[in-house]
Structure 1
Amino acid sequence: MPEIEPRSLAELTTLRAGARPARMIDVRTSDELVETLRELWGAGEPWLVIGGGSNLLVGDEPFDGTVVVVRTTGIERLPAPDAGRVRLRVQAGHSWDDLVEYAVAEGLSGIAAMSGIPGTTGAAPVQNIGAYGQEIVQTLVEVELLDESTGDVSVVPASELGLGFRTSVLKTHHGSVAARSAVIVSVTLELDDVGHGEFEVTGPQLRGALGLDPEARVTLRWIRETVLAVRASKGMVLDDADNDTWSAGSFFQNAVVSAAFARTLPAECPRWPVAPDPVGDRVIPLEHYYGVDPVAAAPEPDVKVSAAWLIEHAGIGKGFALPGSRAGLSTKHALALTNRGGATAEQLAALARFIQQRVQAEFGLVLQPEPVLVGVEL
């Protein structure tokens, strides 16, 4: 196995916190990735896979196990079953934003609105990344998955990954473990081949974020550059010189609550309906059909509410920091917990706990963290 001298995880994560692990392995091919993990699982020792480190908060105590750093890269263009579409098979360690740039340069539509999201392509399905109305679930076809329980690599369709709002069966949530312990080896997406000319942007959330009228037509390049500018204005594009970008992006998820609970929140709190699952067809045996088929009432859709609004209206403004702490909210975006330089994981966790407590006290809602926490408690 390609073992290397362990580096501090503060050097490998965008929150820049975390101690040096006991052991570290650097893998650069899919075969090395599979072989390394099979060996670790066979030995039964603790393991942690890191790609871009952009959705991870690691504790101040050294990780007592092996950290596998995934650096596999490569994009393979494949035919798609339908005309006007193209499939891309991408290695897990390939930079997500480099993939978006490739797609835009090739005139392939479907992920341009997710420009600037840090991290690797293999991590994207784990939390079903998304931005401005686009989510990877909309373009994901399948993944190559290395399963810990069997050690086998299999092709798993997107429909079996339990993709939901910033979640999947592969994600370890705060307070729980992943429903399926496995590591993504490659990802296959299917994109629309729209070329380099102007086209109509569908989706009101994306049009709203870009300031477009419904009939406006733009190029993929314009979408990418505009999204990057918007993200940069919020400190959401990595920049070594800007502490506001020393973060895991949005630390807390926008909360999905019942419509009834949403009505208890102030009317000014931004919210978006979450479409309910469609009511399935009912088959009524002929001997029980009397000419009337009662129509079941459609369920009231859940509502997604703005975590940033809740934080700011709980009295925690941009740039807030606890006394003596090197962790603080971004000065540009109330959802980003940032390392102002030299912050420990415990300082970041203490700020997160304080925010949770204030929002719960003010609005009766416990915000849930997006990043995976390793050796850290909230």
Structure 2
Amino acid sequence: MQVRRDARLSDLTTLAVGGPIDRLVEVGTSAELVAAVQEADEAGRPMLVLGGGSNVVAPDEGWPGDVVLVRSQGIERSGSALTVQAGHDWDELVAFTVENQLAGAEALSGIPGSTGATPIQNVGAYGQEVAQTITAVRVWDRAEKSERTLAPADCGFAYRDSRLKREPGRFVVLEVTFELHPGAESRPVTYAELARTLGVEIGATAPLSDVRRVVLELRRGKGMVWDPADPDSRSAGSFFTNPIVAADRAVDGCPNWPAGDGLVKLSAAWLVQHAGFGRGTRDGNVGTSSRHSLALTTEDGATAAELLAFADRIVATAREQFGVTLEREPTAVRP
């Protein structure tokens, strides 16, 4: 466990905003993670757990207590089940599943961040989400002051949501267990853009390595693979979730997909673009990516306040024009 007092949140987040940290505590094991959380709680210091920093808008004023940086590593395999430490890089895990012919996460290639963050957000892309393969999440419950293992039903997974997200700060993820599908072929491809690029029909399969390669190509084309040399990747990925509305509230011209029970999912990217915030729209040091209107990016000198004000303008304009409220996907952290 290492403690520093010279760190800034802007250096630990992909949006590169955020002020100074009082105490940065870097942990390398789940035991160290629990100990760091307990120490902060017992001392009454504000505590923020941070993994890859890819889904966070960090506060300009910084953090007045402990930021616990999770760097635990390791994959334990038992047949087709993988138990993965919270700090393990997510894309490294996806690469491992493809190399070892385990299907179920291949379409989630290229997503930045740590494995421990994935059940909180129920991370998903290109027709897959982690809730489809997670069988257990081991956590430290700060309310009960004990370790617990949450089954999928306990996690309350929903579209880009979970109980862990709805009870912010309570659960600290220590490790995640996934049950995957042995074989060299992917799970059925359900996302139209991915199927089209692979040259397969919706519902068909493809070699795992092909799916990973194509997903990485698609994400890079949208600036959504983290690369310090790519200014379009200085983002939190998709900044807004696709709104789910009653079918009779679908917006004319906006792509939509069935979401069950008389609901449809609207394209947030279309709403952002048609609200007047197309690719490359800039406002000071923030704006939309030059390659994807759904990603908001920052430049040197940007602040969290500037970014959130720009996002609020998008939300207000889309609501006024289309009667639909866009919801932010990344978490705006407050001390």
- Using the TM superposition, give the Cα deviation of residue 120 of structure 1 relative to its aligned residue in structure 2, in angstroms: 0.3
Q: 1:42: Cα distance to partner?
A: 1.9
1:218 corresponds in structure 2 to 206
Match of 1:260 in 2: 248
Aligned to 1:309: 270
Q: Could you say which residue in structure 1 is the equivalent of 2:235?
A: 247
Matched, 1:61 2:49: no
Name the counterpart of 2:37: 37
Runs of 4+, deviation exceeding 3 Å? 198-202, 208-211, 214-217
Shift of 1:59: 1.5
Corresponding residue number in structure 2 for 1:188: 177
The separation in 1 between residues aligned to 2:280 and 2:159, in whole angstroms, is 27
Q: Write the distance in 2 (CA, Å) between the matches of 1:153 and 1:219.
A: 39
Q: For residues 154 and 318 of structure 1, do their structure 2 counterparts lie closer, same or farther at Cα, with a shift above 3 Å needed?
A: same
Q: How far apart are 1:226 and its partner, in Å?
A: 0.6
Tell me if structure 2 keeps the 8 A contact 1:21–1:62: yes
Amino acid at match of 1:273: P
Report the equivalent of 1:111: 105
Shift of 1:201: 3.4
Q: What corresponds to 1:158 in structure 2?
A: 152
SS of the counterpart of 1:171? helix
Give the Å deviation of 1:40.
1.4
- AA partner of residue 305 (structure 1): L
Give the superposition deviation at 1:202: 4.1
What secondary structure is seen at the aligned counterpart in 1 of 2:38? helix
Which amino acid letter does the alignment assign opposite residue 272 of structure 1? W
Q: Distance in 2 between matches of 1:157 and 1:52?
A: 24
Q: Which residue of 1 aligns with 2:259?
A: 274
- Name the CA distance, whole Å, in 2 between partners of 1:209 and 1:95: 26
1:201 is matched with which residue: 175, 179, 188?
A: 188
Q: Does 1:353 align with 2:312?
A: yes
Partners in 1 of 2:282 and 2:87 — Cα distance? 34
Is this contact kept in 2: 1:210–1:227, CA < 8 A? no
Supply the AA of the counterpart residue of 2:195.
R
- Is the partner of 2:121 in helix, strand or coil? coil
CA displacement at 1:204 relative to structure 2:
4.9
Give SS of 1:142's match: strand
Q: Does 1:368 align with 2:331?
A: no
Bigger Cα displacement from structure 2, 117-126 vs 145-154: 145-154
1:337 and 1:216 mapped to 2: Cα distance?
33
Contact 1:111 1:136 in 2 (8 A): yes
Q: Could you tell me which amino acid in structure 2 is paired with residue 201 of structure 1?
A: P
Are residues 306 and 53 of structure 1, via their aligned partners in 2, closer, same or farther at CA, if it must alter by over 3 Å? Answer: same
- The structural deviation recorded for 1:151 is 1.6
What TM-score does the superposition give when structure 2 sets the normalisation length? Answer: 0.95
Helix, strand or coil for the counterpart of 2:64? coil
Q: What does residue 330 of structure 1 align with?
A: 289
Give the secondary structure class of the aligned counterpart of 2:180. strand
Question: How far is the alpha carbon of 1:260 from its aligned partner?
Answer: 2.1
Alignment of 1:83-98 (within 5 A): 86-98=80-92
The one-letter amino acid paired with 1:318 is: R
Question: In the aligned structure 2, how far is the partner of 1:337 from the partner of 1:124?
Answer: 20
Query: Is the contact made by 2:104 and 2:186 (CA closer than 8 Å) also made in structure 1?
Result: no
Instruction: Tell me: CA distance 1:75–1:257, structure 2 relative to 1, closer, same or farther (3 Å).
Output: same
**Cross-structure match for 1:298:** none
Distance 1:148 1:216, change over 3 A: closer
Distance 1:217 1:355, change over 3 A: closer
Which position in structure 2 is the counterpart of 1:14?
A: 14
Q: Greater CA radius of gyration, 1 or 2?
A: 1
Amino acid at match of 1:91: Q
Q: Distance in 2 between matches of 1:108 and 1:186?
A: 19
**Which letter maps to 2:160?**
R
Deviations 1:15-59 (A, max 9, x none): 000011111100001110011111212222210000000000011
Contact 2:280 2:289 in 1 (8 A): yes
Counting aligned pairs with the same residue, the percent is 44
Larger strand percent: 2
Q: Identify unmatched segments of 5+ residues in structure 2.
A: none
Give the aligned partner of residue 164 of structure 2: 170
Task: Please say if residues 356 and 366 of structure 1, whose CA atoms lie closer than 8 Å, have aligned partners that are also in contact.
Answer: yes
2:122/2:131 contact within 8 Å kept = yes
Consecutive unaligned residues in structure 1, runs of 5 or more: 80-85, 277-300
Residue number among 294, 298, 301 corresponding to 1:339 in the alignment: 298
- In 2: Cα distance, 1:12 partner to 1:74 partner: 21
- Tell me the equivalent position of 1:294: none
Query: Is residue 83–residue 178 contact of structure 2 (8 Å, CA) maintained in 1?
Result: yes
Q: Report the Cα offset of residue 121 of structure 1.
A: 0.3
Q: Aligned partners of 2:259, 2:186: CA distance in 1, in Å?
A: 27
Q: CA deviation at 1:208?
A: 4.2
Residue 207 (structure 1) shift: 2.3
Within the alignment, does 1:137 sit opposite 2:98 as a pair? no
Query: What is the one-letter code of the residue matched to 1:223?
Result: V
Following superposition, the deviation at residue 160 of structure 1 comes to 0.7
